[in-house]
Amino acid sequence: MAKFRLSAFADEYSPSLDRQLEGLAAFGIDKIELRGVDGKNVSELTEAEARGVKRRLDASGVTLSAVGSPLGKIDIGGDIAGHIELTRRVCETANILGCGRIRGFSFYGTEGKRAEVIDALGAMTDVCCGVGVLYCHENEKGIYGDLPERCLDLKRTFGDRIGVVFDHANFIQCGVRPYEDALPMLIDDIDYLHIKDADADGTVVPAGEGVGRIAETLRDVTAKYDGEIVLTLEPHLHVFSGLDALEHGEKSKLRGSYATNEEAFAAAVGALRLILEDIAK
């Protein structure tokens, strides 16, 4: 039976790393999927900055569940060679931070270009595997691996060289039912989950308030796996610093019922904990 461990994109609480760590401590969370650090994306950190971040994390008792990189979030017709070099730098950062997982994507503009996607991801996973880092693919609207069939295609193609990140809201925004359609295809291969729910129209809402059937998903995952499974909160319930940079020509639909990032983050934590308490009964 799986044991769930909470992590979070704490840059949705604050752009300041010190405030992120304070927020995590306030909610009793000791893991982070590091994405935004004091106004910079984690992929932009210098070696010295990464070492400084590691010291701050160590002092707070927080460890990384994954590096929340933007790898694979460019057009497949773009600068792939430059992107492979970026992969090297992100891997170096991951190793400095003591983290064996990098979250990444599978490129935009991929219609009819599966071979190019496989070639590019192959080169990137070569880099990752060479330094002991797992490239964990997140389903994101508009990339090659946005639908469960193509997520499964990537997993079958790359095997243990690639991980699977399961995101309910992203599937919903692609017209996919996460529990009914995606989970049966991917449940054998999930490395960890992003906790983000959505209404049928794609509006992001707290876990359990949308159509993602997150509680049922977690019950099935609990029964399927032994050991620890990370659940990374990605609230997307309030506009936060860096949100625009994460989107690719389409704005996220936010319910807008929270006055601050802190309030939205608290709602996301509370909603997930209610689900976990119910599962544990």
User: pLDDT digit string (tens) for 240-250?
Assistant: 455 555 555 56
d(CA 110, CA 75): 8
Reported as a pLDDT band with limits 50, 70 and 90, residue 238 is confident
Residue where the block lists tokens 């996607």:
117
pLDDT of residue 208: 96
pLDDT of residue 27: 97
pLDDT of residue 112: 98
* Residue 213, amino acid: R
User: What average pLDDT does range 60-75 have in this prediction?
Assistant: 98
Those residues whose C-beta lies under 8 Å from the C-beta of residue 79, and which sit 6 or more positions away, are none
Hey, what domains does the chain have and what are their CATH numbers?
2-280 (3.20.20.150)
User: What average pLDDT does range 253-259 have in this prediction?
Assistant: 71
pLDDT of residue 93: 98
Those residues whose C-beta lies under 8 Å from the C-beta of residue 140, and which sit 6 or more positions away, are 73, 105, 146, 167, 170
User: What average pLDDT does range 172-190 have in this prediction?
Assistant: 98
pLDDT of residue 252: 59
pLDDT of residue 241: 54
**Contacts from 119-127 at CB under 8 Å and sequence distance 24+?**
120/72, 120/76, 120/80, 120/83, 120/84, 121/72, 121/154, 121/158, 121/162, 122/158, 123/80, 123/84, 124/71, 124/72, 124/83, 124/84, 124/87, 125/158, 125/161, 125/162, 127/84, 127/87, 127/88, 127/91
pLDDT of residue 236: 84
In the chain, the percentage of residues whose pLDDT exceeds 90 is 89
In the chain, the percentage of residues whose pLDDT exceeds 70 is 94
Mean of the per-residue pLDDT values for the chain?
A: 94
Residue 205 pLDDT more than 80?
A: yes
User: What average pLDDT does range 31-45 have in this prediction?
Assistant: 97
Reported as a pLDDT band with limits 50, 70 and 90, residue 209 is very high
